[in-house]
Amino acid sequence: MSVLRVCPLLPSLDEALRGHYKIVDEPSDEVVAAVTTSKYGVSNEQMDALPNLRAIVHFGVGYETTDVDHARARGIVVSNTPDVLTDSVADLAVGGLIDVLRRMSAADRFVRRGDWAHGQFPLAVKVTGRRVGILGLGRIGRAIAHRLTAFDCVLSYHSRHQIPDVPYTYADSPAALAAGVDVLVVATSGGSATAGLVSAAVLAALGPSGYLVNIARGSVVDEPALVEALRAGTIAGAALDVFADEPNVPPALLDRDDVVLLPHIGSADTETREAMGDLAFRNLQQFMTDGTLVTPVA
Ligand code: 8YV
């Protein structure tokens, strides 16, 4: 019985795996479990090449890179690492929001360039009290909303369904949400169900004084439409931690001071990544013990 390492893993997770199991990098009849990340998942071709595969363990909360229906049909169980990264992703979303409205990264570049000696940095936009719309009020969306209540933000959201126990205003479409806010924060899952949800029409509804924050997946936003909206000034700015084709960032964004560009670092702090590695390992361990998972995907 061996475990397939689909892609490079967090060193401490890799070490734990090697300490307990026979780890292989090539498919074979011996493989009963595969460990992967949100970025790579396990393709249908890989599943089909592993006749005895029974578990796929993801390092990361997202698992849109694995076809869960295909896995289920083959009798393969699938886990991810929810909850342990919620706080850090929400922290980064709020950081990005503050950065793009108050223009902190742009101001940092201004100082480094020596421009301060020649005049004042232009005035920015106040954060406290802003109207913020959360697209996707799952665990991470709720954690973002919770943080923003401390900034007296007026919160609304759109999700597939209205959620009974939340104090925020429900909008019945992404465009309706965008039309009523100053900042639209994308916190949905990825995959085909949310692809292109933030369309040109949604960006138009956000309007010339509206900002977009995306810590979810690049696929949720029509990226060419976003680039065009920024160029044309039909939205005011964006803070982006995720892109359609990572690590490739649209070149047109690189020299724009109204855009904060981050290299998909939502969960990238040591404590969070270690907690994700630990949870991924515990999923594998429990599967190897009794065939069940600690955090199976829904
Ligand atoms: C990545 C993420 O997983 O959890 C997710 O869905 O997007 C990130 O935490 C991380 O880069 C590890 O692949």
H helix runs in 129-269, sequence order: 139-149, 174-179, 200-206, 223-232
* Nearest partner of 297 among 12, 25, 66, judged by Cα: 66
pLDDT at 45: 98
CATH code, 2-82+269-290: 3.40.50.720
Q: Is 60 in the pocket of ligand 1 (CB under 6 A)?
A: yes
Burial label for 37, CB within 10 Å (0-12, 13-18, 19+), is buried
Q: Provide the whole-model pTM.
A: 0.97
Question: Would you state the pLDDT for residue 197?
Answer: 98
- Nearest residue (by CA) to ligand 1, atom 1, is 60
**Ligand 1 atom nearest 62 alpha carbon:** 6
What confidence tens digit (pLDDT) does each residue in 86-102 have?
A: 999 999 999 999 999 99
Is residue 176 scored above 90 in pLDDT? yes
Q: What average pLDDT does the segment 92-117 reach?
A: 98
The CA 132 to ligand 1 mean position distance, Å, reads 24
pLDDT at 138: 97
How many Å from the N-terminal Cα to the C-terminal Cα in the chain? Answer: 27
The strand pairing partners of 184, in sequence order, are 133, 212
Task: Count CA within 13 A, CB hemisphere, residue 16.
Answer: 17
Residue 188's pLDDT band (boundaries 50, 70, 90)?
very high
Pocket test for ligand 1, best of 14, 36, 39 (most atoms within 8 A of CB): 39
Mean predicted lDDT score pLDDT of the chain: 98
Residue 239 — very low, low, confident or very high, per pLDDT cuts 50/70/90? very high
pLDDT tens for residues 121-138?
999 999 999 999 999 999
Cis bond upstream, residue 122 (ω within 30): no
CA 209 – CA 116 distance, rounded (Å): 26
Mean pLDDT of 211-217: 99
Please count the residues of the chain: 298
Distances (CA, A) of 288 to 19, 38, 46, 71, 246: 14, 21, 20, 18, 33
CATH topology classification for 86-261: Rossmann fold (3.40.50)
Are the beta carbons of 90 and 108 closer than 8 angstroms? no
Q: For ligand 1, pick from 12, 37, 92 the residue to mutate: most ligand atoms within 8 Å of CB.
A: 37
- pLDDT for 23 equals 98
**Same fold for the domain at 2-82+269-290 and the one at 86-261?**
yes
Query: From CA 149, how far away is CA 145, in angstroms rounded?
Result: 6
Q: What is the mean pLDDT of residues 176-191?
A: 98
Confidence of residue 298 (pLDDT cuts 50, 70, 90): confident
- Residue ranges covered by each domain of the chain: 2-82+269-290, 86-261
Local structure of 43: helix, strand or coil: coil
Q: What is the pLDDT of residue 233?
A: 98
